[in-house]
Amino acid sequence: MPGLVHVSTTINGNPTDFLCEPRQSLLEVLRDVLGMTGTKEGCNDGNCGACTVMFDGRIVTSCLVLGVEAQGKEITTIEGVASPEGLHPVQQAFLENAALQCGICTPGFIVATKALLDREPDADEGRIRHWLAGNLCRCTGYDKIVRAVLDAEEKMKA
Amino acid sequence: MEAVEFTTPKTIDEAVQAMASKGDRARALAGGTDLLVQLRGGRRSADLVVDLKDVPELNEISYNASSGLTIGAATPCYRLYADANVAANYPGLVDSASLIGSIQIQGRASLGGNLCNSAPSADAIPPMIALGSVANVVGPNGSRQIPVEDFCTGPGRNVLEPGEILVSINVPAPPANSGASYLRFIPRNEMDIAVAGVGSAVVLDGSGQNFVSARISLASVAPTPVFCKAAGDSLAGKAVSDEAIEEAARLAMEDAKPITDMRGTIRQRIHLVGVLTRRTLNIAIQRARGEE
């Protein structure tokens, strides 16, 4: 039985140490070890994008990363998106455009959307739909989400 | 997922030692987008996961105008399409790297992992075969070079022996007036497994009107990726024409030996091979002429 591994990483700007088993995914570590339940588990096999986090500057599905792979990395989760002053423009736009119903997919969509708009502030609808193809939503039918992302673009430029 | 041990070797020697220490109970980890799903689902099992991403040779892309492109086996897809040399010289590889999975998957998944996973539907393998790529493998008994078309031996199976790792893939420098393309058919726009896929690479003469050589490879129509030698060879020396392309497509369809499953039927898949062979050849020709 392999023992617990000590991992030192940075989550939302905070140096973070944790112990995990090598078999545990980063998603399990975030939720079950660190109590950061903002990141959601959907399919647990990389298809749905609910568990999307930033991992060294790229979006990844945290169910397909091992917790031990976080050693020395920089991770941003949904908990790191809002500021103490208020919601991030992407979050605000999702609220105002009713781009969520049950909400399970929402943290993943917001992390993925922020990653896109930080990189490509002028992404058009086609690019937005392509970028978000790895995030599944069974409630909204996607149109409201795409409208929210376009709205967030405007808000972030203002 | 059952309990495993985990190690992060820093050199090729350490990686080979770790892999050899557990024989077929060791699994190499690159992006993990196939392996972790398989381990969790019980389709593969392992006592030791060997994370190869800290080995420098497995995590770098280098390009040289004479020796070509060397892709570290664990280099994620996004680094291929973000690399100016790859984008300029290997559009056929970019086609694959930018349609595998989602943006999230492309942040982790590697072409080397795609090859070692050896799925018949692997999107990265046909363009690698079409471009004449070679796999660089190192194991306890030394190193060997394997043409990519000889790498896969069955669904999920390949020539790697216990203890061996894929270090890198070498893609030859593109000859003058050459171009390549990969297309797959899926019933959705994104995020699906190929019903059929075709990778084509052509070399034209200086006029751009005649084939010097061509290579064609197929996905999802046999237990392994298929190298269609006859189809590619049929183009050598011929003038670029619809008739020549049609004949190559016909020969590629002869090499397709698909099954009927939930993704498609035998008849549909063979038809798709013809369509995609014509399309990829035409795109490769345009690219060779600098028209795209």
pLDDT digits 0-9 by tens, B7-54: 999 999 999 999 999 999 999 999 999 999 999 999 999 999 999 999
Residues in chain B: 292
Q: Does A131 touch chain B (CB under 8 A)?
A: yes
Are B31 and A64 within 8 A, CB to CB? yes
Question: Domain map of chain B by residue range?
Answer: 5-51, 56-171, 178-288
Structure tokens at A73: 């990395």
pLDDT digits (tens, 9 = 90+) for B191-223: 899 999 999 999 999 999 999 999 999 999 999
What would the mean pLDDT of B171-197 be, rounded to a whole number? Answer: 95
Are A66 and B49 within 8 A, CB to CB? yes
% of chain A surpassing 90 pLDDT: 97
Same CATH topology for B56-171 and B178-288?
A: no
Arch. (CATH architecture) of B178-288: 2-Layer Sandwich (3.30)
Name chain A contacts of B104, Cβ cutoff 8 Å. 46, 49, 52, 59-61, 112, 134
Q: pLDDT at residue B125 above 80?
A: yes
What would the mean pLDDT of B156-172 be, rounded to a whole number? Answer: 98
pLDDT at B2: 86
Which CATH homologous superfamily contains domain A89-157? [2Fe-2S]-binding domain (1.10.150.120)
Strand partners, B178: B203
Q: pLDDT at residue B87 above 70?
A: yes
Question: Domain map of chain A by residue range?
Answer: 5-80, 89-157
* CATH number given to B5-51: 3.30.43.10
pLDDT at A44: 96
Give the class (CATH, top level) of B56-171.
alpha beta
Predicted model pTM:
0.96
Are B33 and A47 within 8 A, CB to CB? no
Structure tokens at A15: 């140096």
Name chain A contacts of B8, Cβ cutoff 8 Å. 71
Kindly give the residue spans of alpha helices, DSSP state H, lying in chain B: 12-22, 35-41, 77-81, 84-89, 91-97, 103-106, 111-117, 125-130, 229-233, 242-255, 266-288
Q: pLDDT at residue A1 above 60?
A: no
pLDDT at B190: 84
Task: Quote the DSSP letter at residue A103.
Answer: -
Are B49 and A61 within 8 A, CB to CB? no
* CATH number given to A5-80: 3.10.20.30
Indicate which of B104, B108, B189, B193 best probes the interface with A, i.e. most A CBs within 10 Å of its own CB. Answer: B104
pLDDT at B133: 98
Are B40 and A45 within 8 A, CB to CB? yes
pLDDT at B292: 78
> CA B226 → CA A147, B130, B196, B230, distances in Å?
43, 10, 11, 12
**B213-216 contacts at long range (C-beta below 8 A, 24 or more positions apart):** B214/B248, B214/B281, B214/B284, B215/B129, B215/B130, B215/B131, B215/B132, B216/B130, B216/B248, B216/B252, B216/B277, B216/B280, B216/B281
